[in-house]
Amino acid sequence: MKESIETILKKLEGLNTISSIVKTLGIKRSTAIKKIHILKKMGYVETSGGGKQPRFYKISRIKIQKIGNPGLYEVVNENSPIKLHKPYEHRVIGKKIEVEEAIVRAIKSKEFRLILASLALFNKIKSWSRLYNYAKEENVRRKVGALYDVAKRVIRVRKMDKKTRKLLLSARNEKKHIIKNFKSKSFQDIEKEWNVFIPFNRQDLDRYEE
What tens digit of pLDDT does each residue of 96-131 get?
A: 889 999 999 999 999 999 999 999 999 999 999 999
Q: Tell me how far apart the alpha carbons of residues 186 and 125 are, in angstroms, rounded to a whole number.
A: 25
For residue 188, count other CB atoms closer than 10 A to its CB: 12
Q: What is the pLDDT of residues 21-48, one digit of tens each?
A: 999 999 999 999 999 888 888 888 877 7
Distance of CA 91 to the CA centre of its chain: 14
Q: What is the mean pLDDT of residues 136-148?
A: 97
Confidence of residue 57 (pLDDT cuts 50, 70, 90): confident
The predicted pLDDT at position 74 comes to: 86
What local confidence, expressed as pLDDT, does residue 126 receive? 95
Per-domain residue ranges of the chain: 5-59, 69-209
Predicted confidence at residue 1, as pLDDT, reads: 46
Q: What is the CATH T-level fold of the domain 5-59, as seen in this structure?
A: Arc Repressor Mutant, subunit A (1.10.10)
Q: What is the mean pLDDT of residues 178-193?
A: 96
Residue 71 has pLDDT above 90, yes or no: no
For the chain, helix, strand, coil in percent to 5 are 50, 10, 40
